[in-house]
Amino acid sequence: MNQFTLAAVNFAWLPILPLIAVTLGAIVVMLVGPNVDDEDSAGLGLVALMTVLAAFVLTLFTLGQNSLAFGGALAVDDYSGFFELVILAATAVTIGMSLDYAADEGLAGAEYYALILFAALGMMLMAAAGDLIIIFLGLETMSIAVYALVGFMRRDPRSNEAALKYFLLGAFSTGFLLYGIALVYGATGTIRLDPVRAAISGGMASNPLLLMGLGMMLIGFGFKVAAVPFHMWTPDAYEGAPTPITAFMAVGVKLAAFAGFLRIFLVHLGPLSAQWSDVLWVIAVLTMTVGNVVALVQANIKRMLAYSAIAHAGYVIVGMAAASSHQAGGAILYYLLGYSFTNLGAFAVVVALERHGEVRDRITDFRGLARTHPALAAAMALFMLSLAGVPPLAGFVGKFYLFSAALNAGLVWLVIIAAINSAISVYYYTRVIVEMYAREGEGVSVKRIGTRPALLLSLAVGVAGTILIGLFPQPYMSASASAFASATSRPALKTTALLR
Amino acid sequence: MGGFWLTGLIFVPTLGAFGVLMQNDEESIWRSAFIFSLIPLAMSLYLFAAFDPHQAAYQFVERYSWISQFGISYHVGMDGISLFLVILTTLLISLSLLYSGGGDIEMRPREFCFMMLVLETGLIGALLAIDLFLFYVFWEVMLVPMYLMIGIWGHGRKIYATFKFVLFTMIGSLLMLVAILYLVGAARAQIGHLTFDLPDLYNVPLSRTEARWLFAGFAIAFAIKVPMWPVHTWLPDAHTEAPTAGSVMLAGVMLKMGTYGFLRFAIPLFPEVAIEATPIFMALAVVGIIYGALVAMVQPDLKRIVAYSSVSHLGFVMLGIFALNPQGIEGAVYQMLNHGVSTGALFLMVGMIYVRRHTREVSEFGGLWKTVPMFAALFMVVMLSSIGLPGLNGFVGEFLILLGTFLHSEPAAWVAVIGLVLGALYMMWAYERVMWGPVTKSINQTIKDLSGREIAVMVPLVALMLLMGLYPRPLLSRMEPSVNALLDRVQAAQARLDASHARTLAALAAPVRNPGDK
């Protein structure tokens, strides 16, 4: 205990300060909650927003390090920093969308914001995990909070159904993941990721227990990122959840799941990539194709965006299948970055359309929007074009980066399939644009965006991200590449002193 | 180096587009859009004067690093081929805006002008880009405003037409993207770093199979845009349902992006494959010429006649390109301009008659010569230019193309001549039914002749038809060095092919010559 010097504490606690901040914020919101009238709960939302922004700033201070904390349980590197920052930004935007929406839909209450913060905490843990148990802990913290959020509209049967489905399938998939972790532990004798990697390089590569464990974990993550054939829950859960929560799931949950997925498979099981990249090849093709083809016939915008999210997971998995290319990691991170901003923006438009007591999530509800609300329609068109991969927006440059990584790994056919998929997707994205611009219609009346500053800000973040990340990609590409590199290039087992 | 001329050309329209968004009343929207479109027109005319006709290299080059990780730069330049297409673009945009302000576009003028100017940015950018990534960006950017123009201001089955248009072009362009990425990857293996710069990508060592696939990736995208038979089916729908200005831009410039793509990218990047593929493309071009002409003949709708005539005329352009000799290619480039001017004018005139009668059915008209003589006379000139009457522009291009084709393949030239005759036939027949004879419908008695604005739109086009028909020298002389530079690459490839054939033959003959060696 004598070695427990102040300097060591300062250094070791710094990386988890953002996590602590989010936890504290969540607890404060929860404790204060019962004393606040439901009508004033927007104030709680602001507290949550402040918490997230504080955590964002704190995370910025953790950048540039590359070590392990808590005996290897947490990885302090730019990879976790990158994901934490994007997750926190997504959380902030989610809260921004919710402020007005929650009051309007009668979701008021401290639990709503506290759960969002807890979910964000779980996501950040997944991003920063240095061992398998932390990944599992993060996944559960996130998932349980999100299950509750999906079912938050207690009087809406769709919301209830969504929560139940999501919960049952989610619990099932968690079981797979945990089983996989147990098998890997059994095979290697450790749950720390760095030793697992060392064990694999040291000749464990064809251990059947290890391979079974890998397969199980693949299934578990497959559920969370909504890869085909583990995607069944996605459309129902996305449709039934309150719309800001749908956005949170499509972006935050997906980011966190990919953070864990990539860290385990791409970073630490990289030496084994020959064993799993063919499987991912197949999963990528299935995920893209099913996502895009089924999205074609959706009449509900949230379901359409759900299938679109599935398809985009497929593109990311194309990048994972290209693990042997040095570009793959950077490409995936960059792609996820662009995807996040674009999708958040698209959901913000859906939120803007909804109004108390009225469900406006059919694609035909967008009819005539360009006439009644030209700016909103233009923003939606921008997001749809970015998702469809039209240059020079973020979605296009992301695809460009991913495809070039996959070609670099020699996956020519996979890229051709992805390109054809991309062309298919143009149909359903442009359908929204056609509804807004070309079809004659009344157009729904939308509550003035100007009176909803938080929502306006969320939209603005989406628009700015979609344009800037696409038009001036260089800094974001470098950041993505170096973030991924920091996870792969950690000096072996350089842990900090605390709790060793 | 030439300052910021090209960047100005590309982005002044974008600035204008946002400037138009600020306007509120209809009058000032049209006026400001027109004025903004005049700036790039003036700039392109200045560049025509400043262009050095003896130089094959890119002129007015600008280059800035953009995405350094991929070796992507903002690299633009102009040569003798893009120069004229740029002028065509700026001219047609201005005239379309002038025309559309006169009542053709009844709703949402602000968005319309915005789209037109963004379209101009996309078109000029794609013509001037030397970096493949930059080219691809502009290539896709031009798609969006065109698609919205058809979708919003189109007629009839406009939604169907937009989807067909977008899906066809997107499939082509995404496959091209894969080809670009593959090519860049192969180049990196050779030169050690990533680059999307066109000149750097010449002479990338590729296996024959690779080169064929990559050429196919580019060629499909461009062939869809041209459009070549049998991937032309999006065109009649898109053309027919588009608003007049949309048809003018689509036919006038956008189709040329396909043929331009062959000249700028597909052929110089893969000259060997292009030479090998010549019979296929000549055959498709000839089929397109005849097919387009025959189908145009039986169309009841004036706009569809013009649309199918585009299929036929673009077949001529492709024929000239794949003749792969100076006459053929210069003729093709010339014909690209001719088609832009004549077909642009035809679409404008069909638009003018549609605004008056709200129908384009040939059977609804007849005897217009008596009621609207000015319209009929101008239509006559435009039609004659389109069918290639000597003295007008169409003749020069078609003559050169036929000459080039004749040197390359006589049968193709003969079939093309038949196409030419058919072209004259359906155009004149349509003209006869619309303009001559008795006035069968009483409503045609009352329609008004051309307004001052409409005459102002047509005069520059008719003047160009005469000028380009009588004095093609200034245009051809500026094209020549660039065309020759392209052909040098093709000839070098031909020499390599011949050498490898000779080697193969020698290898085959060797055992025969020395039977005792084994």
- pLDDT tens for B221-279 read 999 988 888 888 888 888 888 888 888 998 889 999 999 999 999 898 998 898 888 99
Query: Which positions ≥6 away from B35 have C-beta within 8 Å?
Result: none
pLDDT at B370 over 90: no
Query: Which positions ≥6 away from A212 have C-beta within 8 Å?
Result: A180, A183
Q: Using CA atoms, how far apart are residues A195 and A202, in angstroms rounded to an integer?
A: 10
| Residues of chain B contacting residue A386, judged by C-beta atoms under 8 Å apart | none
What is the Cα A50 distance to its own chain's centre? 21
Mean pLDDT of A348-354: 88
CB B462 within 8 A of CB B394: no
Counting the structural domains of chain A, the total is 1
pLDDT at A360 over 80: no
In a domain, B302, yes or no: yes
Taking an 8 Å cut-off on Cβ atoms, the answer to whether B137 and A473 are in contact is no
| Residues of chain B contacting residue A374, judged by C-beta atoms under 8 Å apart | 111
In a domain, B153, yes or no: no
Name the residue facing A438 among B67, B143, B151 (closest C-beta): B151
pLDDT one-digit tens code per residue, B135-173: 999 999 988 888 888 888 888 788 888 888 888 888 888
pLDDT one-digit tens code per residue, A262-304: 988 888 877 777 778 888 999 999 999 999 999 988 889 999 9
pLDDT one-digit tens code per residue, A187-221: 888 888 878 877 777 777 778 888 888 889 999 99
Residue in chain A closest to B69 (alpha carbons) equals A474
Per-residue pLDDT at A494: 43
Per-residue pLDDT at B2: 55
CB A434 within 8 A of CB B159: yes
Place of tokens 């946002």: B18
Query: Which positions ≥6 away from B32 have C-beta within 8 Å?
Result: B16, B19, B20, B23, B113
Residue in chain A closest to B214 (alpha carbons) equals A412
Range of the domain at A277: 6-488
Q: Using CA atoms, how far apart are residues B132 and B447, in angstroms rounded to an integer?
A: 50
In a domain, B247, yes or no: no
Taking an 8 Å cut-off on Cβ atoms, the answer to whether B66 and A426 are in contact is no
pLDDT at B509 over 90: no
Query: Which positions ≥6 away from B89 have C-beta within 8 Å?
Result: B44, B120, B123, B124, B127, B252, B253
In a domain, A493, yes or no: no
pLDDT at A458 over 80: yes
Range of the domain at B298: 277-480
Per-residue pLDDT at A191: 85
By the 10 Å C-beta count (0-12 exposed, 13-18 middle, 19+ buried), A92 is classed as: buried
* pLDDT band of A496, cuts 50, 70, 90: very low
In a domain, B367, yes or no: yes
Reported residue count of chain A is: 500
Q: Is A52 helix (H, G, I), strand (E, B) or coil?
A: helix
In a domain, B310, yes or no: yes
| Residues of chain A contacting residue B175, judged by C-beta atoms under 8 Å apart | 416, 419-420
Instruction: Kindly provide the ipTM of the predicted complex, given to two decimals.
Output: 0.85
In a domain, B326, yes or no: yes
Residue in chain B closest to A479 (alpha carbons) equals B69
Query: Which positions ≥6 away from B418 have C-beta within 8 Å?
Result: B290
pLDDT at A143 over 90: yes
Mean pLDDT of B489-513: 81
Q: Produce one character per residue of A294-306: b if its CB has 16 or more CB atoms within 10 Å, e if not.
A: bbeebebbbbbbb
Taking an 8 Å cut-off on Cβ atoms, the answer to whether B182 and A407 are in contact is yes
More confident residue, B439 or B414: B414
In a domain, B77, yes or no: no
Query: Which positions ≥6 away from B133 have C-beta within 8 Å?
Result: A400, B66, B67, B70, B72, B180, B196
Counting the structural domains of chain B, the total is 1
More confident residue, B370 or B383: B383
- Name the β-bridge partners of A129: A74
Per-residue pLDDT at A421: 92
Taking an 8 Å cut-off on Cβ atoms, the answer to whether B184 and A481 are in contact is no
Name the residue facing A407 among B66, B154, B185 (closest C-beta): B185
Kindly provide the residue ranges of all beta strands, DSSP E only, lying in B34-147, ordered along the sequence: 59-67, 72-78
DSSP structure class, residue B231: S
In a domain, B406, yes or no: yes
Per-residue pLDDT at A463: 95
Q: Using CA atoms, how far apart are residues B154 and B156, in angstroms rounded to an integer?
A: 7
Per-residue pLDDT at B70: 84
pLDDT one-digit tens code per residue, B58-101: 888 888 888 888 888 899 888 888 899 999 999 999 999 888 88
By the 10 Å C-beta count (0-12 exposed, 13-18 middle, 19+ buried), B162 is classed as: buried
In a domain, A88, yes or no: yes
**By C-alpha distance, which of A384, A413, A123, A139 is closest to A288?**
A413
Q: Is A9 helix (H, G, I), strand (E, B) or coil?
A: helix
Angle at B210 between CA B208 and CA B216, to 5 degrees: 105
pLDDT, mean over chain A? 86
pLDDT one-digit tens code per residue, A16-39: 889 999 999 999 998 888 887 767
Phi-psi region of A459 (alpha: psi -120 to 50; beta: other; left: phi over 0): alpha
Per-residue pLDDT at A28: 92
Per-residue pLDDT at B513: 59
Query: Which positions ≥6 away from A279 have C-beta within 8 Å?
Result: A218
In a domain, A439, yes or no: yes
Taking an 8 Å cut-off on Cβ atoms, the answer to whether B166 and A430 are in contact is yes
Give the phi and the psi of residue B98 in degrees, each rounded to 5. Answer: -60, -45
